[in-house]
Structure 1
Amino acid sequence: MEGPIHMDHADEMYTDEDAGPDPRLFVASVARALRILESFDGGRRTLTIAEISQATGLGRSATQRFVYTLHQLGYLRRDGSSKHYRVSAKAIDLALSLIGSHTYAERVAPVLDMLAQKTGETVAWVERDDIDIVILRSIPSKHLSSVNLPVGQRFAALSASSGQVLLAHAPIEEILRVYKNSMVHARERFGLSDNEGILRYFEDVRRRGLSITEKMEDVDSISLSAPVFAGRDEPVGAINISTLKSRFSKLQAERKLSVDLIAAAREASQMVSR
């Protein structure tokens, strides 16, 4: 039988990331509660108990207890008599306060503001979370017609310009793992399927220090991203400029926006390295 956990040895339990969570420290109920909140993604604003149970893989009884607890704590709201739940303003405030204190996003804020003023386009600070990228800071465009990038929004890293400049500096096996685990629509948008072509593409992105992608779904847009480093070979995040094809062609966007973008990324790298 294992003895008690001594705090002077606690740090040793975190050294082997491949071993999985230590059962002596891992609190499963916290993980389940977070799975409940994570089930309310961008496409599912309100959910029933049954829908949450299906999304999380938890049993209905366990789901009901966790939802009740989160509701009592104020992190979920119940919409009248509809039996639908949604994330509350309290939960959103908590998320925004955590994002607001994010070290890198906070430190590069002046660079983002200056870039947004200079280009007039939507500018964002982006970081990778496994196969996704997440918007952690966003400055909207001055134009009435523009790309909207709300904080917290996720995109597939494989097909997004920010994800590509971050993946370009990852090990080969990591790039191929992300490709394999990405959703079908992300792989289709990316366009390449053979390992040699995939790796050649990311080598080119790494060499250029820039990625440009086009989106032609809800709005025809162009996205440009450059990596930001903190004194290491692996980038800590990316700066993104998003514009509309009604203002720039892809070639025009590269010519007119990439110089300022790369300069901003270099300045941000100096700031986060201090």
Structure 2
Amino acid sequence: MKKRTKQAGSDIAVETVPPASGDRQFVTALQRGLDILRAFRPADTALGNQELAERSGLPNSTVSRLTYTLSKLGYLVYLEETGKYRMGVPVLGLGYACLSGLKVREVAQPYLDALAEHAGNGILVAMGGRDEFSMIYVACARSPGVVSLQLNVGSRISLARSSMGRAYLAAAPARERETLLRGIEARTDKARWPRLHEEILRAIEEIETRGFCLNSGEWHADVNSVGVPLVPLHGGGPVLALNCGGPAYLLPRERLENDLGPRMAEMVKKIRYSG
């Protein structure tokens, strides 16, 4: 049975698809504990058990036991004055361990910096990987400027609606892509799904024909972006994706199509890694 919750207007949801019943190797309690940690977002300072229950879809009693255990282990810190929890330092250690294992970040960063400088004032260039139905930024670069998307390493964006997410879907193995598309359909309003599905298929076709996909206001109104997939040369590493985005008046579709898109398609050929 799929478990999902999502706050209105948010790209972020805790959504997990447990394995088929009878998988005796799967530890459900561990999954639920990780769901609690995944419920926290970069903008959150602290969350109470009720908020965590709403975001995770877990019963209040289960959440109380999980937050108590996670606080005893240091992954959560209990704030007595508010009765809420914030993330503990050990979670940061896990995050940095993950980033240090992605050696491709070191290879990619100079290319991201160069593209951001070329793109100009206020444009964000990023690389990310998938977590359930979101993409998480693992590297970023931006030119100095007053205007810029307020996203950084650790930020989440939509898998279904962003150029980065759609680039990922284009490069994902066929079985994984089919599973993700079914999950996206299940969490999308029926009236909205045909158009969203068409946009995703169009992006996949763009990746296949010219190596990049365009997004004109389909993630957020007045924000344009271009995305490209980054696939390891010999397998063994995760499929990643890159995007370049900013306010539509700074990034008109013509520039994405004729300049930044082709540049990014060539850039990933130089970044491609061995996993």
Distance 2:190 2:147 in 1: 26
Q: What secondary structure does 1:126 align onto?
A: strand
The equivalent residue for 1:248 is: 251
Could you report, residue by residue, the CA deviation over 1:35-94 in whole angstroms, capped at 9, with x for unpaired residues? Answer: 221222357553222333344344444432321232233322233422121223442343
Instruction: Call closer, same or farther: CA 1:247–1:159 in 2, change over 3 Å.
Output: same
Q: CA deviation at 1:108?
A: 2.2
| Structure with larger Rg | 1
Instruction: Tell me how many residue pairs correspond in the alignment.
Output: 253
| Sequence identity percentage | 26
Pairwise CA RMSD of aligned residues?
Answer: 3.5
Is the Cα–Cα contact under 8 Å of residues 113 and 142 in structure 2 kept in the other structure? no
Q: CA deviation at 1:211?
A: 0.8
* Unmatched segments (≥5 aa) in structure 2: 1-18
Higher helix share: 1
State the TM-score, normalized to the length of structure 1.
0.75
The equivalent residue for 1:13 is: none
The equivalent residue for 1:14 is: none
Among candidates 205, 212, 234, match of residue 210 of structure 1: 212
Q: CA deviation at 1:181?
A: 1.8
Corresponding position: 1:266 with 2:249? no
The equivalent residue for 2:240 is: 237
Is the Cα–Cα contact under 8 Å of residues 160 and 213 in structure 1 kept in the other structure? yes
The equivalent residue for 1:3 is: none
Instruction: Call closer, same or farther: CA 1:227–1:189 in 2, change over 3 Å.
Output: same
Q: Which amino acid aligns with 2:270?
A: E
Distance 2:152 2:176 in 1: 28
Distance 2:90 2:191 in 1: 36
The equivalent residue for 2:142 is: 140
Distance 1:218 1:108 in 2: 26
Is the Cα–Cα contact under 8 Å of residues 166 and 203 in structure 2 kept in the other structure? no
The equivalent residue for 2:156 is: 154
Q: What secondary structure does 1:252 align onto?
A: helix
The equivalent residue for 1:83 is: 83
Q: What secondary structure does 2:140 align onto?
A: strand
After TM superposition, the runs of 4+ consecutive aligned structure 1 residues lying more than 6 A away are 18-21, 216-219
Superposed, 1:189-228 pairs within 5 Å as 191-193=195-197, 199=201, 202-215=204-217, 220-228=222-230
Q: CA deviation at 1:145?
A: 0.4
Superposed, 1:29-48 pairs within 5 Å as 29-41=29-41, 45-48=45-48
